[in-house]
Structure formats: structure tokens, C-alpha cells
Amino acid sequence: MNNLRISLVQGATRWRDPDGNRDYYGDLIGPLHGTTDVVILPETFTSGFSNDAIEEAETMDGPTVAWMREQAAALGAVVTGSVQLRTDAGVFNRMLWTTPDGELRHYDKRHLFRYAREHERYSAGRDRLTVEWKGWRICPLVCYDLRFPVFARNRYDVEREGALDYDLQIYVANWPAARAYAWKTLLRARSIENLCYVAGLNRVGRDGNGIDYAGDSAVIDFLGHAVSESTDEEVVTTTTLLAHELAAHRERFPAMLDGDAFELR
């Protein structure tokens, strides 16, 4: 593993305006060419967190997937973020992982936000995704997943022999300001218990439902310390994750060897 540069794009997503959001986020990430390895966009970055946006849900051959592939190629970096996407099995809150060479993978949000009745209109995913990039193993997750530590658990000697499943968790979100303390606390909990870096990318501004978002995007290290942290303004931050410090922590504090085996259903 070498060090990994990740960029958190904390923006004020336009309400149900896919064309406008692609232009808006395109302008924000354009200057990142050659300076980063992974570009992270918010949850439902083409629409905001709207149940009614299901009416405009695209398919995997629609304009947003094509746009993300174009951005990844232009930037020479992975571009990731979630959008509403329609398949034969329903509409998913789907986190896309696009690489500069055109590879496309995805994770479908497993835990749908019952409080906002997301579960009544969208289909839930089931399986977790782990991707490899620049020598790092990365687990991308979406918003409400942050509250479910069993699903997110970093297991030892399961996905790869003699090692943990992943080195970095990424959460993209539309996490309201009213629950900001939970957001900040749970990001730290996930990093400490999973002996990994955690990147949490949230939006800012007020959405079409009148809900305010405080941002509070952050990169947290394996000890629960903030390596970088934002407030409530539009901002793009790039942080370098240090591979040797992560490896050294796991060697001197190998808590993963005492983890419980379990089966997820």
C-alpha cells in the first residue's frame, strides 16, 4: 500500500435538478485533476434526498453514469457518489464506483431510511461491496448504513487471508443538521472499532423539503481522530491517508484477532 489521496466534495445539491447538479459538481471537481486518487460526491447528488425523485430515476445507461465515467477519465481518479437508479428489480439508492479506465461497480444502499419513508418507495440492497484501488481495500456505504455496525464490520481472515476486509470506509450522506452529533460520533466509532480510516461526506444547504444540512464532512483515522474536518460551507478538501501509520497501528494493537465470528442474514 502507498498513501492514498481522497477528496471530499461538500456541496449544496440542487433540488431535483440532475442537469444542474452535474454542471455544479463538475465545476467543483474540475480543478482536482492530478491532485487526488478518489473523488467523493454526496448521497443522491443529482437530486437531493427526495422520495419523489424516483420519478426521474435514471438507468445504468443514462446520463449520470456516463457523466461519472467521463469525470473519472478526465481527472485520472475514481469518482464515487450515489444516485437513484432504476433496474428490473426496482429503484435503488445506488453508490457508483467509477475508475479512470472505465470500470464501473456499485453498492445498493441496504438500510433504507424508514423515518423518511425511503423504504416505501425504494428497493433495498443486500450485499456489501469491497473494491481495491491503489493498493487499498475500500468499503463504500450510504448514509443510514452508518447506524448499523454489524453490516459494516471489518472482519479478519474472511475476505482476504490473514488480513482485514478493508482499510477505508466511505460514507456518502444527506445527514440533517438536527442529528449532526450522531453523525460525528458514529464516524468515530466506526473508525475505532474497525481499525481503519473513515471518510464521511455530507452535503450542506437547505433542501426542497426545508431540511438543513450542516456538512461536518470529515476524514477520521483509526484512533478516532479527525485528520480533516469541515463546517457548514461548500468546500472541497483533499486528505492524504498514510498507509504506514495504519499498518503500524494494526500491528501494535491487533484487536481484530479477538473479533467475533458471525453470519449476516
Instruction: Report the catalytic residues.
Output: 43, 109, 143
β-pair partners for 226: 220
All cell numbers assigned to 189? 466509532
All cell numbers assigned to 264? 449476516
Give the position of cell 449520470: 64
